[in-house]
Copies of this chain bind each other. A is one copy, B any other.
Amino acid sequence: MDLKQLKSLISVVENNLNISQAADQLHLVQSAVSQQISRLEEEIGVKLFNRKGKRLAGLTPVGDEIVAYAYRTLANANSILEIAHDHINEFEGMLRIGTTHTQAQYILPPVIKAFSQEYPEVELQIHQGTPQQLVTKALHDEVDFAICTEALSESKDLVSMPSYNWNRSLITLKDSALLESDEITLEKLSTYPIVTYVHGFTGREVFNETFKKAGLKPQIVLSAADTDVIKTYVRSGMGVGVIANMTYVTDKDSDLVLRDLSELFPWETTKIAYKKDKYLRRHQQRFIDLFQGSVLKQEGLVAP
């Protein structure tokens, strides 16, 4: 067995069982990849793919199991290269962060800035996606870190480190009727049209849960993955906004009134996660430190 064969296998799987595409990706001709797969199958004595005539039509059950271990094998082999590169030049390389819009826009900028001053030669990539997508990307080594609030703890193949706690705030136009009452309750809130995050993002599940437990049904008139969009529609008068508290920017959002809602909702924890067994290069380790340090310094991000 050979790493080349495993690479071919994975590439074929990732290209929807299209050997020709896989060959392109691997910079080989199609017959070469075909041979790799054949040899692998012959060597281990098991068919990896179901075939319809000469077309591939899905992985066999064994193939499926083997693909999982092929991923791990290649990931470990890759770590060896990373260790070596790290030792040759700590300051060169790449850092791929997978995160949601909220983090990328409101939390990461100071961290990224500090990091890139320390490591100007390291190429930074920010991959955006839903928490579920980020988990997948981290597991398939398409990003080095995933930073978000949801989904990270659900995979036991990720190491996830709690980074900071946050809760929700209300934003409204200055003349909103909701502001007239001294205390805002879930009940009152549920009588107003609300603009907040879509399913899967930035604590929306917990948001729903909270209303449900109280026997209430919020009126969501619009939901978005993106706090900027929420603010825009609140400004246009569509409803009151419920956003993560760290996304209110005093300078730019002073036309909106802010009310803390942390008495009404549970606290949330944003985490940074990476694949278990991943070798962390020194600059990657440093990024984690910077992230954990920076978020602690920002006001209001840590639970009382």
A220 is an interface residue with CB less than 8 A from chain B = no
List the interface of chain A (C-beta within 8 A of B): 1-3, 6, 44-46, 62, 65-66, 69-70, 72-73, 76-77, 79-81, 83-85, 87-88, 277, 279
Chain B residues whose CB sits within 8 angstroms of the CB of A81 once the complex forms? 1, 44
Contact B83 A77 (CB under 8 A): no
Query: Other than the known A3-B3, A62-B83, A73-B76, what 14 A-B pairs have Cβ atoms closer than 8 Å?
Result: A1-B77, A1-B81, A6-B77, A45-B85, A46-B83, A46-B87, A46-B88, A62-B84, A65-B279, A66-B83, A72-B76, A72-B277, A73-B73, A76-B76
Chain B residues whose CB sits within 8 angstroms of the CB of A85 once the complex forms? 45
- In angstroms, Cα B7 to Cα A1, docked, is 12
- In angstroms, Cα B46 to Cα A87, docked, is 8
Contact A65 B45 (CB under 8 A): no
Contact B3 A46 (CB under 8 A): no
- In angstroms, Cα B77 to Cα A108, docked, is 38
Contact B46 A84 (CB under 8 A): yes
Chain B residues whose CB sits within 8 angstroms of the CB of A3 once the complex forms? 1-3
Chain B residues whose CB sits within 8 angstroms of the CB of A88 once the complex forms? 45-46
Number of copies: 2
Is the contact region of chain A dominated by helix, strand, or loop, or is it mixed? helix
What's the minimum C-beta distance from A40 to chain B, rounded to whole angstroms? 9
Contact A69 B83 (CB under 8 A): yes
What's the minimum C-beta distance from A9 to chain B, rounded to whole angstroms? 10
- In angstroms, Cα B65 to Cα A81, docked, is 11
Determine which residue in A3, A69, A70 has the highest number of CB atoms from chain B within 10 A of its CB, and name it: A69
- In angstroms, Cα B46 to Cα A279, docked, is 17
Chain B residues whose CB sits within 8 angstroms of the CB of A45 once the complex forms? 84-85, 88
- In angstroms, Cα B277 to Cα A79, docked, is 16
- In angstroms, Cα B83 to Cα A81, docked, is 27
A-B contact pairs, 28 of them (CB 8 A): A1-B3, A1-B80, A1-B81, A2-B2, A2-B3, A3-B3, A6-B77, A44-B80, A44-B81, A45-B84, A45-B85, A46-B88, A62-B84, A62-B87, A65-B83, A65-B279, A66-B80, A66-B83, A69-B79, A69-B80, A69-B279, A70-B80, A72-B72, A73-B73, A73-B76, A73-B77, A73-B80, A76-B76
